[in-house]
Amino acid sequence: MIGAVLGVTLSGCAAFVPVTGSHYTSRDGKVAIHGELVDSSDVRIFVNGDKVIDDQISLLHGDGKFGGTWQGKRVSADCSTPSGGQLNATLCTVAVAGELVTLTL
């Protein structure tokens, strides 16, 4: 199983990125992030119900870096499928509005 916490450095500050299922809601409840993997290659990321990313991961490498915007804020997703992982298990580290979380799709 994938470790529960991933160490990441963001904007010069060390931050811990929780690895969750396909849904995450910020502590204050203001930001809800949801991800989907459709047909093993189409990554869709939603913020508060708005689709902000809809792109294809590389079928050859199983990864991709994507960007979008939500309410004028930049959204980024860095996705990969770990080798030897579960079939169709793709991890996407998503950053938006001060939140950084890794979703399991």
- Whether 4 is in a domain gets the answer no
- Whether 34 is in a domain gets the answer yes
- Whether 11 is in a domain gets the answer no
Give me Rg for the CA atoms of the chain.
Answer: 13
What is the pTM for the complete model shown? 0.79
Q: What is the pLDDT of residues 15-68, one digit of tens each?
A: 456 667 899 999 999 999 999 999 888 999 999 999 999 999 998 888 999 999
Domain that holds residue 39: 18-104
- Whether 53 is in a domain gets the answer yes
- Whether 73 is in a domain gets the answer yes
pLDDT value of position 8: 33
Three-state DSSP class for residue 75: strand
Cβ contacts of residue 1 below 8 Å, gap of 6+?
A: none
pLDDT value of position 21: 87
- Whether 8 is in a domain gets the answer no
Using CA atoms, how far apart are residues 41 and 58, in angstroms rounded to an integer? 7
- Whether 6 is in a domain gets the answer no
CATH of the domain at 23: 2.40.128
- Between 9 and 50, name the one with better pLDDT: 50
